[in-house]
């Protein structure tokens, strides 16, 4: 019989023909499980998969021998829709690619169109874009935080997370008219200027949220049970992240200093002073800490933005109309979303609609790390690793 050590690490080569050999992981799930093992479906309709995601896992007892994400249950042909709609018609689609971070996708598409068309955005509009983007980043991280702890068995935190999210939604609804699939950006600016109440609520929210972060630390972050569930579990080092093209908090937790706001500056982010948090640790706990520290960084940006926002127009006078045609050319525009780098690539031949649109979703690359990170862990830890990736399946499938 194989040793107990080999059960803990089933990929250790052993001369016992009943154990798994080094080439085991290349086997297809269609071949079934080896004798005594179980193939389990996580999803496609299960809370642990955070949407319509299916993950096939083969288990030896509670240990994950191999896993394989199965995509496509929520494919909506978003890129093809962009090729049959005018830019103006397609813009609302962006709020539906990632419904938790629609502002980043608004910015990616609007920025690509503006870059191709040579449209200059007024300075006040650039500030409003940053304000809405950072509020939306905090909102997205809050939902991740609450749902992640819920995955681990903690029910109370998600109630606090939604309390904070409601305050952010109250603010963003003033200018966007929406609380979820927001469509705030316009080519040449934003849809509506912020009023006195808008800025006053932001000013009240910043110190409030900083106090709540202290409470989160006492209630959750310093909880010994949570720490034991996260520390040392699911390490994703620099090499693994770069091989799969991971970006965002996952890549930064691995110690890679890359944030699109600084690496490929866009908007007016270069005017703001803020710290981009960088790991280690690169485990579940490191990714957890990364998002909470990013909330603090967003609050720092917001406080500077509302203090220094200039007067002026929120959109150019001659903004593109619904029938607007893009000039011929090819561009890509990248922004830093809550889950990582969002890219919109547009190829235009000068026709009524773009010839080709390609959307780069960070969740797709980040999910690709799961199979390697979960190998050899127990099932409960695999669920924690999956949750630490902050997946939004509509953007993975697109």
Q: Kindly report the CATH number assigned to the domain that includes residue 146.
A: 1.10.645.10
Check whether residue 61 and residue 135 sit in a common domain.
no
Check whether residue 57 and residue 105 sit in a common domain.
no
Boundaries of domain holding 9: 1-73+373-398
User: CA 252 to CA 294: how far, in whole Å?
Assistant: 11
Residue 183 · residue 95 · CB < 8 Å: yes
Check whether residue 287 and residue 151 sit in a common domain.
yes
Check whether residue 35 and residue 104 sit in a common domain.
no
Check whether residue 267 and residue 325 sit in a common domain.
yes
Cβ neighbours of residue 169 closer than 8 Å, sequence gap 6 or more: 139, 179
Task: Give residue-wise pLDDT tens across range 258-284.
Answer: 999 999 999 999 999 999 999 888 999
Residue 351 · residue 162 · CB < 8 Å: no
Check whether residue 114 and residue 29 sit in a common domain.
no
Check whether residue 126 and residue 196 sit in a common domain.
yes
DSSP H stretches of helix in the chain: 4-8, 78-82, 87-90, 94-97, 102-117, 123-151, 156-176, 196-216, 224-230, 238-244, 249-253, 260-263, 284-308, 362-367, 370-374, 379-388, 393-397
DSSP H stretches of helix in 51-98: 78-82, 87-90, 94-97
Task: Give residue-wise pLDDT tens across range 106-121.
Answer: 999 999 999 999 999 9
Check whether residue 348 and residue 386 sit in a common domain.
no
Cβ neighbours of residue 280 closer than 8 Å, sequence gap 6 or more: 253, 254, 255, 286
- What is the bridge-based pairing of β-strands 356-360 and 341-348? antiparallel
Check whether residue 30 and residue 5 sit in a common domain.
yes
3-class secondary-structure state, position 233: coil
Q: What total number of domains does the chain contain?
A: 2
Check whether residue 195 and residue 340 sit in a common domain.
yes
Mean pLDDT is lowest, of 51-65, 117-131, 206-220, for 51-65
**pLDDT at position 337, please?**
95
**pLDDT at position 324, please?**
86
**pLDDT at position 37, please?**
79
Check whether residue 142 and residue 279 sit in a common domain.
yes
User: CA 312 to CA 343: how far, in whole Å?
Assistant: 29
Check whether residue 397 and residue 269 sit in a common domain.
no
3-class secondary-structure state, position 178: coil
pLDDT over 80 (residue 380)? yes
Mean pLDDT is lowest, of 6-20, 202-216, 225-239, for 6-20
User: CA 91 to CA 33: how far, in whole Å?
Assistant: 46
User: CA 132 to CA 298: how far, in whole Å?
Assistant: 11
User: CA 53 to CA 64: how far, in whole Å?
Assistant: 18
């Amino acid at each position: 019989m194989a040793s107990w050590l080999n059960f803990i690490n089933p990929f250790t080569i052993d001369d016992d023909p009943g154990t798994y050999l080094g080439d085991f992981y290349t086997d297809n799930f269609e071949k079934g499980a080896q004798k005594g093992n179980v193939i389990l479906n996580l999803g496609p309709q299960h809370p642990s998969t955070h949407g319509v995601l299916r993950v096939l896992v083969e288990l030896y007892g509670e240990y994950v021998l191999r896993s394989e994400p199965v995509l496509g249950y929520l494919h909506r042909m978003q890129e093809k829709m962009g090729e049959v709609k005018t830019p103006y018609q397609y813009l609302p689609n962006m709020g539906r690619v990632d419904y938790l971070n629609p502002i980043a996708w608004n910015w990616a598409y609007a920025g690509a169109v503006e870059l191709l068309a040579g449209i200059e955005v007024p300075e006040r509009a650039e500030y409003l874009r940053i304000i809405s983007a950072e509020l939306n980043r905090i909102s997205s991280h809050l939902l991740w935080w609450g749902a992640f702890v819920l995955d681990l068995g903690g029910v109370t935190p998600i109630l606090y997370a939604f309390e904070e999210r409601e305050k952010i939604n109250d603010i963003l609804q003033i200018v966007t008219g929406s609380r979820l699939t927001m469509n705030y950006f316009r080519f040449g600016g934003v849809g509506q200027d912020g009023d006195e109440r808008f800025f006053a609520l932001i000013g009240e929210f910043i110190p409030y949220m900083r106090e709540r972060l202290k409470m989160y630390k006492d209630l959750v972050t310093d909880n010994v049970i949570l720490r034991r569930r996260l520390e040392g579990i699911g390490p994703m080092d620099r090499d693994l992240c770069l091989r799969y093209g991971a970006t965002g908090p996952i890549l930064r937790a691995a110690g890679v200093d890359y944030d699109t706001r600084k690496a490929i500056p866009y908007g007016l982010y270069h005017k703001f002073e803020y710290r981009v948090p960088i790991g280690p640790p690169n485990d579940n706990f490191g990714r957890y800490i990364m998002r909470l520290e990013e909330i603090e960084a967003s609050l720092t940006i917001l406080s500077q933005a509302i203090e220094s926002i200039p007067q002026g127009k929120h959109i150019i006078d001659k903004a593109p109309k619904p029938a607007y045609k893009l000039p011929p050319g090819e561009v890509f525009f990248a922004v830093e979303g809550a889950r990582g780098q969002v890219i919109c690539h547009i190829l235009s031949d000068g026709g009524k609609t773009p010839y080709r649109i390609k959307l780069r979703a960070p969740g797709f690359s980040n999910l690709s790390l799961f199979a390697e990170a979960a190998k050899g862990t127990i099932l409960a830890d695999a669920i924690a690793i999956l949750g630490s990736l902050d997946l939004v399946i509509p953007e993975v499938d697109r």
